[in-house]
Structure 1
Amino acid sequence: MGNVDSRIVTNSDELQEILLLAQQLKTAVHLYRQGNGGIQLDFSQWKEIEQFDADNLMIIAPPGLKLQDLNAAIAAQGLRFIPADSPAFAQLSVGEWAYRGCPNLSAWKYGAGKHFLLGASYVLPNGEIVPVGGKCIKNVSGYDFTRFLTGAYADLAVGVQYVIKLMPQPACRIAYHVETASLSDAIKLVGMLHNHPVPPVWLFWMDQVTGEKLTGGAQAGHRIMFELDGNEAEVREYAETVERIFIDCNVKIVEGQTAPPDLSGLEKELNEFWLLDEFKIPYPQVGHFAAEADRLLVKAGCRGGLFGQLADGKIHLYAAKEEKALTELVHSLQNVARNLGGTASGKYQRLYQSGLAGKLMDLEKAFKRRYDPAGILNRSEEVSQ
């Protein structure tokens, strides 16, 4: 491993200077990923909120502010930032959340996380500053450059300012933690919840293996956590329906924790392999995908399992770290996902292999040639060797 020069960055001017010098010296610059040599950027002190307009449900946040701190600041005004409204990503900074592609556990009811990012300012690898989007939806027209630069793990530019849409806190919330003996019962439960005109805010599923890893306790089957929110009369009525559904689906209520586990640091685990946001499976095909995943894990000689947003078909992978088997396992699962009518995001290739992947690969390569000619930003080991 090469020597890494860690730099605390607290404003755009400091960042521009570092990037310009790195281009001249062809030195790698790493952000939100650990690098082999070069400069490691640290935004943890860049966390002062720039503007908070509660009346217009908008806040301008810096990249180093943690989502849990952002939510705490706006909760005092009766507001919330939907993608940070559950503990799942509480420890991510705003910048890292955007870098990961704006994940949102509450997408079932409130939509994709990217819709809560109205605009941003980015520093390109050549030192230029580019503002994109705006402070309201009507400012976004033509090609959506905000979403392009916040494509998951794209490594195209460095976000330094984020314009975020807020929503009011709900009057009532009810959360559940339940267990089913089989995946088919879990799928049946989710199907019956799908039939209700108002979906849960979020729903998080863990099979037995991943549930025991994530909660730290033994479990006999599949765990599902979900939450209802809205006005009190609506939520209470929905809760009565839910409890009738539990009987039909052989569901047992689990005492204790009802909040989803913190997923923020899973992929940084050194002794285990966690892959989030790679597989998107059509909901009716989740059972088939899980069966194939079990078969492939056994074939690879890995203990592992699946978890994720079952209702949205966003399925994540856990496997004990057997490096020689992981690449073949992930590629096989990507093929299974596509054969079932789903998609694979290409995140595995971006993080662990050659880098660029996906439908926008050619456009991203052209962008990198123009604005990062020395290939400094989150340079892969293949490039640096």
Structure 2
Amino acid sequence: MSHALSSTSADVSADLPDEFVHLARLALAGREQDVAMFVRRAARRHRHASPDLADALVALLRQNPTRANPLRAEVDTPIPVDGDSRLPLLRVIHPGSTVEVPILGPETYDVLTQIVDERKQADRLAAADLTPARSLLFVGPPGVGKTMAAAWLAHQLSLPLVVLDLATIMSSLLGKTGTNLRHAIDYAKQRPCVLLLDELDAIAKRRDDDRDVGELKRLVTVLLQQIDDWPTGAGLVIGATNHADLLDPAVWRRFDVSVEFALPEAEQRCEAIRRFAGQPLPDGAVDAVALASKGLSFNDIERTMLRLRRRCVLEDQLLPGLMAEHSARLVAEFPKTDRLQLAQTLTGVSGLSQRQISALTGVSRDTIRGFTHRRE
């Protein structure tokens, strides 16, 4: 028994130099929450071999909780600027009282809510020797809610959203771009926040692309190092890209979770139309625009609804009628089955006669009359 204990003690002692170096590195970098996480893990790891040490570490954690104010240190460190243009490299959006909830598919919503739960229940994960995901990769076409989802996550976690548009930090002098990148991410590391690396593909392209010069390829390495060094307990780092196929394979591996943002399905398009309409709408008008908007993004739908609302004011017309007209114009190029579906949908829009629906969709009045009878 004594031999076993001495062997265990020897193993612990052998690990201590490496542990001490790692702890010193975290402390000197000012990563307070990572230090606390390290100490918590050390207490669990040495509980059986050195119970007195474990108790002392737990007592220290209880006596010195980490500061949770997400705005700390912002007054001490100015936002970094580009050395040539003197323009800020980052945008900081402070948590407000409300934020627009993104319209998401069920799978995407489930992933994001788990990210929030992991942060709010980090102690339960720590008890199982687990840590919350610290990096997310948002992938999807433009206008599907990636930036809004990042803002929503920041709001749910009561953290500021720090936005770094990678397409804007490219200095005219390529050698300075890596410096810009390091300064910007170092700023975000010093405070709990959600860092959004927007337009990630602007820098993190595949390094086997022969068209890029060596300096741009070195930027990928700088970015990977910065993501690797992101503090575990400080917040989230989110990369967002519209062109996933351009990303270097190593970039994918650096993110804990990949989140797909797809073009909206019919149900999500209906929800977006109602949100952007600014007034109650009959179901038929909403369904008609949703049908005509197949393959469009939320941003496309928002711009369409705002344009129709402006027409309402300028031409003194009702919004449902303009929506029907807009839908028919788009669906005119669709297959006949879609035009039939639109005609059936428009029979539920008050104020539209069978003659008008026929003129809009090219469907015969007899067919529309049949739709009306079935509806009744």
TM exceeding 0.5: no
Question: Higher strand share goes to which structure?
Answer: 1
TM-score normalised according to structure 2 size = 0.26
Higher helix content, 1 or 2: 2
After TM superposition, the score normalised by the length of structure 1 is 0.25
